[in-house]
Structure 1
Amino acid sequence: MTQSIFLYSIIMLLTALSWFKDRQKTKKALMKAKNMLVKLAPELLAILLFVGLSLSIFTPETISSLIGDQSGVVGVFIASFIGSFAMLPSFVVFPLADTLVDNGAGLVQVSAFIATLVSVGFASLPMERKIFGKEFTYMRNLSAVLMAFVFSFVIWVVLPWL
């Protein structure tokens, strides 16, 4: 809460400074920001709804049993599978990952989820295949999945040392 107040205070201070320096540019910037917010609002609301419903359906115990620390390699595969098919914007991934960890997910499993979520696109495979071709699309997605596993393995090995 304190961080939010601090950040909002800085934003208001910098906006006020900008306003006094050049009102026209500041008005233009505020209008652009408002337009971006209006365009993103439906997506943000859908994501909030998705996360809220998911957390109401999947209790912390369920999340912990599926992708918790004790789920091991099976949890990494489950998280990778979900991440490979989910279509979420990148700016939502890290807050969602934090929420998952807070609800019992393991860091190694969440790292696999994040890596596949941002790099693998099975849901958009048909469109990608049309644009880039079959061979490139399949190789790119396969290498992204493999790198997600390598990334998770590295975290699995390094995490106990931290």
Structure 2
Amino acid sequence: MDIFTLSLWIITGIAFIISIIKDKQKTLNSMKMARGMMKNMVGQIIGILFLIGLILTFLPPETIREIAAKSNTLISTIVSAFVGSITLIPAFVAFPLVGSLVDAGISIVVAVSFLTTLTMVGFVTFPLEREEFG
């Protein structure tokens, strides 16, 4: 675990303890609410993880790198931005995925283009986000 992750865990723990000291009942109610939200999303998250594993099985990062390396960086960037905007992947899955693509040799510009459009509201995610956030 790196220092940044450790720092975030420590800050979160301290904030949680302060919250419990300030208003224990409110903190417990918010934890129950978060648990309920997670129960509603866990099926979608498992499905997404399954699809990513399936896609990476049939299209390994090495193959993606070969395809991206053969084309122009500008074209690869535009294509990766388009693919990112139509793909439904949560951010906590997207970051390791993009990291594995960069480790496999994908250009950082192409990877950032994919990641940026992936974490924004896209074609596939728009109906879900409209329903959840209004």
**Distance of aligned partners of 1:95 and 1:61 in 2 relative to their CA distance in 1, 3 Å threshold:** closer
CA distance, structure 1, for counterparts of residue 21 and residue 121 of structure 2 = 43
Aligned residues: 124
Corresponding residue of 1:113:
114
Percent of aligned pairs with the same residue? Answer: 31
TM-superposed deviation, 1:45: 1.5
SS at match of 1:42: helix
Q: Which has the higher contact order (CA 8 A, sep 6+)?
A: 2
Paired amino acid for 1:15: F
Paired amino acid for 1:71: S
TM-superposed deviation, 1:47: 2.1
CA distance, structure 1, for counterparts of residue 89 and residue 28 of structure 2 = 31
Unmatched tracts of structure 2, length 5 or more: 128-134
Paired amino acid for 1:112: S
The answer to whether structure 1 residue 71 and structure 2 residue 71 are counterparts is yes
Structure 1 residue ranges, 4+ long, deviating more than 6 angstroms after superposition: none
Q: Over the residues paired in the alignment, what is the CA RMSD in angstroms?
A: 3.1
Paired amino acid for 1:56: T
Paired amino acid for 1:26: T
Matches within 5 A, 1:1-162: 1-2=1-2, 3-68=4-69, 71-72=71-72, 73-89=74-90, 92-117=93-118, 118=120, 121=123
**1:122-148 superposed Cα distances (whole Å, 9 cap, x missing partner):** x589x8xxxxxxxxxxxxxxxxxxxxx
TM-score normalised to the size of structure 2? Answer: 0.67
Unmatched tracts of structure 1, length 5 or more: 128-162
TM-score normalised to the size of structure 1? Answer: 0.58
CA distance, structure 1, for counterparts of residue 79 and residue 5 of structure 2 = 34
TM-superposed deviation, 1:52: 2.1
CA distance, structure 2, for counterparts of residue 25 and residue 61 of structure 1 = 49
SS at match of 1:87: coil
Structure with higher Rg: it is: 1
Contact 2:87 2:122 in 1 (8 A): no
Contact 1:97 1:114 in 2 (8 A): yes
